[in-house]
Amino acid sequence: MTVQHIQLSYVQKLTLVFLCCLTLMFTATTNAQDMSPNIAWEKINAGAMILDVRTEQEFAAGHIEGAINIPFEVVLAQLTKQNISKETQIVLYCRSGRRSGIANSALVDAGFTQTYNGGGLQMLEAQTSH
């Protein structure tokens, strides 16, 4: 009876590890898809709001034309304060994609449905098809 319990416990552990690996793989795939410069520019060219979530100093040093600067820590509060519709097309970017990813997650968690993490500024600027 002890052997069966150990085997069952081992199988449960393997199942848990397998499910965790699948979750991590799915999450990595989702994040990678959210940082395609081609898709970001398609959305921008279609009229999406462009949010630069870097600091004011970074924004002043250079940004995408037409971008609005709202630091990532206050994006949700500012969009809510300005009564921005949760269906508004929004592309967010920062230096590397990390801060825009954090801001994007906060917006999605709050019910925004049309947000996109455009990734880093240099990656977007390097894309020549815009």
Task: Give the active site residues.
Answer: 94
Strand order in the sheet with 115-120: 68-69, 49-52, 90-94, 115-120
Q: What would the two tokens of residue 71 be?
A: 């630091």
Measured distance CA(122)–CA(95) in Å, rounded = 7
